[in-house]
A and B are shown apart, each in its own frame.
Chain A
Amino acid sequence: MQDFAFAFLNLEIVREAWPILWSGFLYTVALSLMTVPLGLLGGVALALLATSGPRAVRLAAAGWTDLFRAIPPLVLLVFLYAGLPFAGFDISAWGAVAIGFFLNTGAYYGEVLRAGIESVPRGQMEAARSTGLSRGQALAHVVLPQAVRNVLPDLISNTLEVVKLTSIASVVALPELLFQARQAQSVTYNATPIVAAAVAYFLLLWPLVRLVSRLENKAMAGR
């Protein structure tokens, strides 16, 4: 029991590794603040193309979405960072993460938002257009707000996954939380930093998890 506490719950080690863990935590927050908006941007674009473009564009958007949902994000990231230089494209770690998440996360957000847009009755667009709103205005003020509201729990769930997924940035040597925890682990010969990283993820994401539960319960009650 004492061995367990020494290896996994060692406060002395936490104290020692704190600066490096904290900097990793800040990196993870920064990565999330970059990847979530990028993914949402890609998702909105894909959802709009998939629902209101001409037929060829809709099919292309669907194919694109399928492709990047099927490619593992880790493989995509490694390819961007370590593969593309062979073709003469040198991409920084941040750049690779930005592009990789834009492609991968955008595809997931796109699917969620597409379902949201399709859940809004066609009469909403027609009513808005009948008052002289352009297609873009009708989307922005009438359709998208309802679409987002209808799929809000799914959007937040997806956001949770994105934040967790930022840990793969450790493979391109971005010193985010997991990367720093492993550094601390190898320096201290102790697993406590990994446990600390898990706790940090939990503290960061638990409020969102609660929020999703509440929204889902509310949606069930509203039925």
Chain B
Amino acid sequence: MPTTPPPIIDARGLWKRFGKLAVLKGVDLSVAERELVFIIGPSGSGKSTLLRCLNRLEEPDDGSVQVDGIELLSPKTDINAARRRIGMVFQSFNLYPHMTARQNVMLALRKVLGKGKAEAGEIAARALDRVGLGDRMEHYPAQLSGGQQQRVAIARAIALEPRVMLFDEPTSALDPELVGGVLNVMRELRQDGMTMVVVSHEMAFARAAADRVVFMADGEKLEEGPPAQIFGAPRHERTRAFIRQIDRH
């Protein structure tokens, strides 16, 4: 019998309430190494909250999260050390506006990994090169387009050589003509074998690149499977309705 390798992300029974509202109702999610998992669902379905539980930006009320063998919710865990292995990209980029692109990438290299200035600068330059911004290193975020800013944000995350990358609606704030550049960078990361969990409405990208699509509604995982199955033959009525609606756009 072939043994499957243990998942690199293993979240179990996640509950999260905001006041009386239960946003996550016992959700499980496991992700294998080098897998690209897409999470889709209507707004308010809890998909962003689920993603944010995977690096403890959101503290689940119940459940467990293991990433790369580290128990994230254990009080004994050094969360700052754990987060170095988990890159995150946000909808609104969240670049530091008072720093150049290169300084944005260098900050954690220096303060978290303890690299010297010269070494951090070189690593940052390589990371920015990788996202196609080698010629924009000394620009401030305000001098860059949204798409370029998001690519700097990706460089900031991958410079730390994370084991997994989380993307929270990475293209939702972008003008349509800038989406392609960001998706290209994500495609390349995928080809390099990065494990990725993506919350996004980019259905064409999901169809083409995802290994697995998870559909969430009302704080629950309703179904999951390969993109062909979820988009072609969804089992659940809510999934069908959601995909019909998305395809109309």
Size of interface on B: residues with Cβ below 8 Å to A: 24
Alpha-carbon gap, A121 to B98, bound state (A): 13
Contact A141 to B107, CB < 8 A, known contacts A126-B57, A131-B157: yes
Is B81 touching A132 in the complex (CB atoms < 8 A)?
Answer: yes
The stretch among B62-70, B88-96, B124-132, B236-244 that forms the contact with chain A is B88-96
CA distance A215 to B227 in the complex (A): 54
Cβ of B121 to closest chain A Cβ, rounded Å: 16
Instruction: Say yes or no: A127 contacts B94, CB within 8 Å.
Output: yes
CB-defined contacts of A130 to chain B, threshold 8 Å:
55, 57, 83, 86-88, 157
Complex alpha-carbon distance, A126 and B91, angstroms: 12
CB-based A-B contact count at 8 angstroms: 63
Given that A123-B90, A127-B94 are contacting pairs, would A132 and B107 also be in contact in the complex, using a CB cutoff of 8 Å? no
- Give the interface segment out of A73-81, A101-109, A142-150: A142-150
Distance A196 CA – B203 CA, assembled complex (angstroms): 75
Closest chain-B Cβ to A191's Cβ sits at a distance in Å of: 49
* A131 B83 Cβ-Cβ under 8 A: yes
Contact B108 A132 (CB under 8 A): yes
Evaluate whether A133 and B108 lie within 8 angstroms (CB atoms) in the complex, with A123-B90, A126-B57, A126-B90 already known.
Answer: yes
> Which residues of B in the span 47-61 have a Cβ within 8 Å of any Cβ on A?
55, 57
Complex Cα distance, B86 from A31, in Å, reads: 50
Q: A157 on the interface (CB 8 Å rule)?
A: no
Which residues of A are interface residues toward B (Cβ below 8 A)?
Answer: 121, 123-124, 126-134, 137, 141-142, 145-146, 149
What are 9 pairs between A and B in contact, CB < 8 Å?
Answer: A121-B94, A124-B96, A127-B88, A127-B156, A130-B86, A131-B83, A131-B156, A133-B107, A133-B108
